[in-house]
Amino acid sequence: ANEARVVLSARDLRRDFGGFTAVNNVNLDVHHARVHALIGPNGAGKTTVFNLLTKFLQPTSGTITLLGHDITKTPPANVARMGLVRSFQISAVFPHLTVLENVRVALQRPGGLAIQFWRSMNTLDSLNDRAMELLKSVGLEKDGDSYAADLSYGRKRVLEIATTLSLDPKVLLLDEPMAGMGQEDVGRVAEIIREVARSRAVLMVEHNLKVVADLCDHITVLQRGEILAEGNYDTVSNDERVRVAYMGT
């Protein structure tokens, strides 16, 4: 029953830009311990949905619920503090700090674990321990002393995920986490996301359909701002409308 718990949901979500409706009638249920993909052609509204869920954009109408709380009118910083965190863009990784230092900085951010648990985290040792633990959880423990600037592109993205995990999110939103990666890094990051999703919900925008097929438990297909289909990969990929609209077959 715990596995099927809905942690984030949107009801009748709509967003207009002037006279243009970018997102319409969107109902979304994101579950604990599942990897949920949001897919669809360019301009389908994926980014707008992410911006609405994180409250960077205010919905024109509809409601959003996070862990049982109505967050429709909640400011983005509070939403993040409540456990809905979007992966930081690569620019949020400080290139001239080491990998370990990057994670330590992240832990000490407002909302970071070091601040949440300051009583037990107020020595440098415990901060380092927690940072190493986080690096281990994403397979970067051997890179702790490397400058972030010297990491491969794939490892930089993994470091970005590690810094995001320092906020201990309950729902993690990932924006094309594998974009621009080689096959080997894609596999690594897929494993990390799978591991991360054991104890939280993951909602990701992803274009690589093989990744979606292999990794994602549930898929929502957007087209022109509306939900075209949803279900597991088999259901969605066999849907006639999805094949015509999205996969072009």
Where on the chain is the footprint of ligand ADP (CB under 6 A)?
17, 20, 22, 40, 42-48
Kindly write down the DSSP assignment for every residue of 1-20, as one continuous string. -GGG-EEEEEEEEEEEETTE
Number of residues written out for the chain: 249
Of 20 and 91, the one with the shorter C-beta distance to ligand ADP is: 20
- Of the pair 64, 105, the CB lying nearest ligand ADP is at 64
Question: Shortest approach of ligand ADP to residue 172 CB, angstroms?
Answer: 18
**Nearest distance in Å: CB 158, ligand ADP:** 23
Which long-range CB contacts under 8 A does 87-90 form with residues at least 24 apart?
A: 87/160, 87/161, 87/164, 87/172, 87/173, 87/174, 87/175, 87/177, 88/160, 88/163, 88/164, 89/160, 89/175, 90/156, 90/157, 90/160
How far apart are CB 118 and ligand ADP at their closest, in Å? 38
Closest distance of CB 106 from ligand ADP, Å = 26
Q: Which is nearer to ligand ADP, 20 or 119 (CB)?
A: 20
Residue 206: both structure tokens together = 């992803």
Dihedral, CA of residue 225, residue 235, residue 180 and residue 158, to nearest 10: 100
**Which C-beta is closer to ligand ADP: that of 163 or that of 220?**
220
- Classify strands 6-17 and 20-31 as parallel, antiparallel or unpaired: antiparallel
In the complex, least distance from residue 225 CB atom to ligand ADP, rounded to whole angstroms:
6
Q: Which is nearer to ligand ADP, 102 or 220 (CB)?
A: 220
Could you give the CA distance from residue 37 to residue 55 in angstroms, rounded to a whole number? Answer: 19
- Burial-class residue 244 by CB neighbours within 10 Å (0-12, 13-18, 19+): exposed
Residue 14 or 46: the one with the smaller Cβ distance to ligand ADP is 46
Closest separation in Å from C-beta 89 to ligand ADP:
15
Query: Which burial class, exposed, middle or buried, applies to 131 when counting CB atoms under 10 A from its CB (0-12, 13-18, 19+)?
Result: buried
